[in-house]
Structure 1
């Protein structure tokens, strides 16, 4: 594994990434390559590299797992901005970098994303046709989630509050950075915050199980307008032509990955090959790092990728 920083002519800051190499890697060779996209509130050192990136590299792929703009060790200011348009554009920037590497087979580039990253890779593939195969692991349409649960089904009220806060900040006021999860598992239990996805997210992000310095589960409130107005699956019926695989757990939670996975599978009627994998006994956060469901997912993912990417 190698850590790199890069930018291209379209960017005003560096992207920080980890490149994971297959066994017996030879820089003179040519390898199918996977861009791995981390969840909302995550970073490259968590599930995108340490779990799925590692498994894919061991299977023979070069994998590039990176930090989103404004997050982790990548550049961009202000910090903790979650802008879906930028997150999707980041994928193209990473591909721009990948195709300059002599050992990357530019005709065999795929993408994999987890949670919000799953929504982003599915959206990116609609217009980024250098992507030859797409895998969404428990994918979430972040725009839908923000309009519903994250605003308590009051998106207009949230947008008005964001507008007022942004004006305040433009006039020199303090930034409003919202923490999106309980501070600890104990706090969640004591305060009844035990809904499946909220509690399991806290178990992952707020304990040594998944906690990483770059995995900031916070968001700059005043810059989230674009998130509320964004739809990961818009025009899927027309533009989603590549092979796609969606993996979801049937133990559903408030973040809605199961419904989102079913939706994009159903709408991708132009896809050359679409598959949905439902894991009966597993939840959204089980698919982040639990060896058994991750193993079940990889048993489906690897044949799919071999078919479409070699």
Structure 2
């Protein structure tokens, strides 16, 4: 694994990546390559590389995990912006970089993403036809989640709050960066924040299990307006022509990955091969790094990618 930053000619900042390579890697050969997209509030050092990137590299793939623009070690100002359009564009820019690497087979590129990253990579595949197959691991449609749970089912109120905050910042006020999770499991318990996804997210992101410096779990409130008008699965019935797989756990939580995985599977009617993998005894955050559910997922993902990208 090596860390590489790049900037294409049409970019204003660098994208930071981790490139994972198979055993006995030979730079003179070409390999099928997987672009790995991290969750909302996460970074490349977490599940996108440490879990799925590692497993896919061991299975024979070059894997490029990267930090989203405005997040982690990638550039872009202001920091902690969650912009779905930019997140999807980042996927294409990483592919732009990948196809310049001599060991990447440009005709055998796949995408994988976890949580919000699953929603982003699925959306990218709608228009980015260099992606030949795509997998969403417990995928979340961030637009749907913002319109519902994240706005307390009051999207107009959230938009009005964002508008007021952006005006205040434009006039010199302090930026409002929202922390998305309790600071610790103890704080979560003390404040009654024990809903499955919230509590398990805290266990992953706020303990040594998954905690990383770049995984900020923060969001710049004033710049999140466009998220509420975005939908990961728009036009999926027509544009999702590639093979697509959604992997979901049947232990349902508030972030809605079970629902979203079912939705993209149901809507991807133009796909050449659509597959839904349901894991009965596992939850959203179990699929981030726990060996048994990840192993069950990989047992489906590797043959899927092998069939479609080699």
Q: CA deviation at 1:276?
A: 0.3
Q: CA deviation at 1:268?
A: 0.3
Distance 2:186 2:67 in 1: 29
Could you tell me which residue of structure 1 aligns to residue 89 of structure 2?
A: 89
Could you tell me which residue of structure 2 aligns to residue 159 of structure 1?
A: 159
SS state at 2:209 partner: coil
Could you tell me which residue of structure 1 aligns to residue 239 of structure 2?
A: 239
C-alpha distance after superposition, 1:221-263 (max 9, x if no partner): 0000011110000000000000001000000000000000000
Where in structure 2 are the equivalents of 1:42-53 lying within 5 Å? 42-53=42-53
Distance 2:173 2:140 in 1: 33
Where in structure 2 are the equivalents of 1:101-112 lying within 5 Å? 101-112=101-112
Could you tell me which residue of structure 2 aligns to residue 290 of structure 1?
A: 290
Where in structure 2 are the equivalents of 1:64-79 lying within 5 Å? 64-79=64-79
TM-score (norm 1): 1.00
C-alpha distance after superposition, 1:111-142 (max 9, x if no partner): 00000000001000000000000000000000
Could you tell me which residue of structure 2 aligns to residue 5 of structure 1?
A: 5
TM-score (norm 2): 1.00
Instruction: Report which stretch shifted further, 277-286 or 1-10.
Output: 1-10
Where in structure 2 are the equivalents of 1:189-200 lying within 5 Å? 189-200=189-200
SS state at 2:288 partner: helix
SS state at 2:144 partner: helix
Could you tell me which residue of structure 2 aligns to residue 204 of structure 1?
A: 204
C-alpha distance after superposition, 1:81-112 (max 9, x if no partner): 00000000000000000000000000000000
Could you tell me which residue of structure 2 aligns to residue 121 of structure 1?
A: 121
RMSD (Å) for aligned C-alpha atoms: 0.4
SS state at 2:186 partner: helix
Distance 2:141 2:258 in 1: 11
Number of matched pairs? 310
Could you tell me which residue of structure 1 aligns to residue 148 of structure 2?
A: 148
Distance 2:173 2:190 in 1: 34
Distance 1:104 1:163 in 2: 44
Q: CA deviation at 1:190?
A: 1.3
Distance 2:48 2:213 in 1: 15
Q: Which runs of 5+ in 2 are unaligned?
A: none
The yes-or-no answer on 1:28 pairing with 2:63 is no
Could you tell me which residue of structure 1 aligns to residue 171 of structure 2?
A: 171
Q: CA deviation at 1:191?
A: 1.3
Q: CA deviation at 1:280?
A: 0.2
Q: Which runs of 5+ in 1 are unaligned?
A: none
Distance 2:45 2:212 in 1: 7
Distance 1:82 1:89 in 2: 13
Distance 1:93 1:278 in 2: 31
